[in-house]
């Protein structure tokens, strides 16, 4: 099965969603996204970190160093209140977009 290229801008949405469940470190986010998408979405690991830092800069996620599950030092990201709001807005927009796109595609 071919892997999907992520449309522009969706990586942010996926990261926010992944973080909405619990704080994660970078690697865990990429693993989680791959598992959940049944490996259909290949998160480009190289873009993950710049994306994380961009979200951090915007104040949607915050970062803290803490012990990981295997007791090593890892940088954990967590959704902020602003991030939660942003996630809601982006999910909303995404659903409207997909609905609209499907409607158009089902056009006869």
What are the C-alpha distances in Å from 107 to residues 65, 96, 97? 50, 17, 15
Q: Which of 49, 89, 92, 100 binds other proteins (CB under 8 A)?
A: 49
Q: Tokens 């961009």 label which residue?
A: 54
Interaction between residue 95 and other proteins (CB under 8 A): no
Nearer to other proteins, 49 or 96 (CB): 49
Alpha-carbon span 19 to 69, nearest angstrom: 16
CA distance 9 to 7: 6
In what helix (H) or strand (E) does residue 63 lie, and over which residues does it extend?
strand 61-67
Smallest gap from residue 21 Cβ to other proteins (A): 19
SS3 74: strand
Based on the shown chain and the rule CB under 8 A, indicate whether residue 38 belongs to the binding site for other proteins: no
For residue 108, the minimal CB distance to other proteins (Å) is 43
Residue 100 contacts other proteins per CB under 8 A: no
Give me the residues that bind other proteins (CB under 8 A), please.
25-28, 31, 44-47, 49-50, 53-54, 56-59, 68, 70, 72-75, 82
């Amino acid at each position: 099965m071919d892997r999907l290229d992520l449309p522009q801008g969706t990586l942010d949405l996926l990261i926010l969603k992944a973080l909405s469940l619990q704080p994660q470190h970078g690697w865990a986010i990429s693993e989680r996204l791959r598992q959940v998408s049944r490996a259909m979405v290949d998160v480009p690991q190289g873009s993950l970190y710049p994306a994380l830092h961009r979200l951090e800069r915007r104040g949607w996620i915050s970062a803290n160093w803490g012990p990981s599950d295997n007791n090593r030092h890892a940088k954990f990201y967590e959704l902020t209140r602003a991030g939660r709001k942003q996630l809601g807005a982006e999910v909303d927009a995404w659903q409207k977009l997909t609905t609209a796109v499907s409607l158009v595609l089902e056009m006869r």
